[in-house]
Amino acid sequence: MTRIFQERKAAIATMHGKELVLSPVLNALGITQIVIPPIDTDQFGMFSGEKERLDDPIETLRKKCLVAYEKTGIDLVVANEGSFGAHPYVPFACADEELVMLRDYKSGLEVIKKVLSTETNFAGRAIEDLDDLLFFAEKAGFPEHALILKCGMQIEKGITDIPQLKRNFYKMMDLSDIKVWVETDMRAMHNPTRMKVIAQAASKLEEALNSTCPDCQWPDFTIKKMELGLPCGLCQMPTESIKLKIKICDKCGAREEMATEKKYQDPMNCNYCNP
Ligand SMILES: [Zn+2]
Ligand SMILES: [Zn+2]
């Protein structure tokens, strides 16, 4: 285990209760002094649309970490950034992509880990009557998962009980008389399903921080490259499957090649034997 975190203080750049799943990562590194600085992370974008995210998730994470560092002077910062939308590979599925970053301004270390999950209630639709709304709410895991109602300039976030949901719905229907937009509240403290995915990303981060380079002890000695060309079991020609996984140290460049468990690829997946 690395020693660069010993006797350090850390900050978590969040205003949505993510310390619940991010603190344990820091605790596991031996960090007990954790500060949640009062920073407005909404300035970098909001899921509910009032503020668009301008940068990509990694750039946004760097900005969140820097704000926390500048505000507190604590040079070790952890942050999270989520993105929701259509799944990149699974047709018709929604995905939650959660990134976690640890930034150490003292040593220059930056570690980013990602989880892409289909476990999400991310959804939104126009609603005409109460039955529609209650149906949507049930599918979204309400009331454990909060909802947002929108109508024109009106927005009501963090709705977590039926009376509140009905009251806001009727108020907005009175105003517009057409349709009200309902969507899932994706803020971490209002969305236990999302919090779980952030926890998965956090444990990946923890694992990476504990995987140190055998030569220089720098953290995040993890798989960063794959080499394709696993030979076909019949003709021995290289296939497009992974042959080697390579751990790389970002500090000294040390490498460790790990052969995949499979020695040969099934000829079914060979471009020569089964074109
Ligand atoms: Zn073959
Ligand atoms: Zn190294």
Q: Are both 94 and 40 inside the same structural domain?
A: yes
Q: The pTM is what?
A: 0.90
Tell me: do 31 and 112 sit in the same domain. yes
Domain co-membership, 201 together with 93: yes
Which pLDDT band holds residue 50 (cuts at 50, 70, 90)?
A: confident
How far is ligand 2, taken at its centre, from the CA of residue 213, in Å?
5
In the predicted model, what is the mean pLDDT of residues 111-139? 95
- Ligand closest to the CA atom of residue 218: 2
What is the DSSP annotation of the chain?
--STTTT-EEEEE-SSSTHHHHHHHHHHTT--EEE-----GGGG--TTSSS---S-HHHHHHHHHHHHHHHH--SEEEEEEEEEEE-SSSTT-EEEEEEEEEEETTT--EEEEEEEES-----EEEE-SHHHHHHHHHHTTTTTS-EEEEETTEEEEEE-SHHHHHHHHHHHHHHHSS-EEEEE--SGGG-HHHHHHHHHHHHHHHHHHH---TTT--S--EEEEEEE-PBBTTT--B-SSEEEEEEE-TTT--EEEEE-S-SSB-GGG-TTT--
CA of 212 to the centre of ligand 2 (A): 8
Neighbours of ion ligand 1 (CB under 5 A): 232, 234-235, 267, 270, 272-273
Indicate if the pLDDT at residue 20 is higher than 70.
yes
Q: Are residues 247 and 116 in the same domain?
A: no
Average pLDDT over residues 169-195: 90
List the single range of 41-55, 64-78, 254-268 with lowest mean pLDDT.
Answer: 41-55
Q: Ligand 1: distance of its center to the CA of 90 in Å?
A: 28
The answer on 199 and 161 residing in a single domain is no
Local confidence band at 187 (pLDDT 50, 70, 90 cut-offs): very high
Q: Does residue 22 contact residue 100 with C-beta atoms inside 8 Å? A: yes
Does 145 lie in the same domain as 107? no
Residues 6+ apart with CB under 8 A from 56: none
Tell me phi and psi for residue 255, to 5 degrees.
-130, 150
Q: Are residues 179 and 196 located together in one domain of the fold?
A: no
Domain annotation covers residue 246: yes
Residue 2 lies in a domain: no
pLDDT at residue 140, as a whole number: 97
Q: 124 is written with which tokens?
A: 């939104």
Amino acid making up residue 66: L
Q: How remote is the CA of residue 274 from the centroid of ligand 1, in Å?
A: 7
The reply to whether 69 and 14 lie within a common domain is yes
- Considering the domain architecture, whether residues 29 and 107 belong to the same structural domain is answered as yes
Question: How many CB atoms are closer than 10 A to CB 166?
Answer: 14
The pLDDT value given to residue 152: 84
**pLDDT value at residue 177:** 65
* Ligand 2 centroid, distance to 187 Cα (angstroms): 37
Q: Given pLDDT bands bounded at 50, 70 and 90, which one contains residue 275? A: confident
Mean residue pLDDT of the chain comes to 92
| Least confident segment among 36-50, 62-76, 182-196 | 36-50
* Cβ contacts of 28 within 8 Å, gap of 6 or more: 206, 210
Residues with CB under 5 A from ligand 2 (ion): 213, 215-216, 218, 249, 251-252, 254
Residues 65, 197: one domain?
yes
Average pLDDT on 38-47 reads 83
On whether both 87 and 19 belong to a single domain, the answer is yes
Whether residue 68 lies inside any domain: the answer is: yes
**Domain total for the chain?**
3
Rounded distance between C-alpha atoms, residue 14 and residue 193, angstroms: 18
- Stretch 46-70: mean pLDDT: 89
CA–centroid distance, 99 to ligand 2, in Å, is 24
Ligand 1 midpoint to CA 18 (Å): 49
Taking residues 145-152, what's their average pLDDT? 94
* pLDDT score for 1: 63
Looking at residue 253, its pLDDT comes to: 96
For residue 99, what are the domain limits? 9-120+190-210
- Backbone phi, then psi, for 32, in 5-degree steps? -110, -20
Q: Do 71 and 165 share a domain, yes or no? A: no
6 pLDDT band, cuts 50/70/90, is confident
